[in-house]
Amino acid sequence: MLRRWMLPILFLALGLAAAARQIAQGSPVAAVTLLLIFLVGAVLLSPLIFPRSVSTAEALHRSAADGRPIVYWRPGCRFCMRLRTRLGRHAYRMHWVDIWSDPDGAAAVRAATGGDETVPTVVVAGEPHVNPDPRWVRAQLP
């Protein structure tokens, strides 16, 4: 659980340190600006911008019932963030599995990628696609 939040916490700590330094130098406006920039960065690196994750078993069950793709992802992955932001509101029409909180999800990704945990891995109709183009993913949505 802590592993998912390590990068955002580190980013926020760096922002606080940078802001404290600006305040010590007498620049409160620069301190607030830096703190806001780092805060936005921490949120973008956190699991907060992603739809609620489900387990691999639940995602497979739901996907079999409704035909929606499964996305295996992990917090802090810039390619996962790219996919999530480019999908916009359509991201909620997919089943998301955080491989850091679901060992079965990590195993499924390793099986699909030949041993690596390369994410995002999108499974459409049982066929895995590693780091696919977001436009292609959107076209696969039912």
pLDDT (0 to 100) of residue 45: 77
C-beta of residue 134 within 8 angstroms of C-beta of residue 89: no
Each residue's pLDDT tens digit, 40-57: 988 877 778 788 899 999
Are 132 and 122 in contact, with CB atoms under 8 Å apart?
A: yes
Annotated domain spans of the chain: 5-45, 56-140
pLDDT the model gives residue 83: 94
**Quick one: pLDDT at residue 1?**
56
Residue type for position 32: V
Which CATH class, in words, describes the domain spanning 56-140?
alpha beta
Residues of the chain with pLDDT under 70: 1
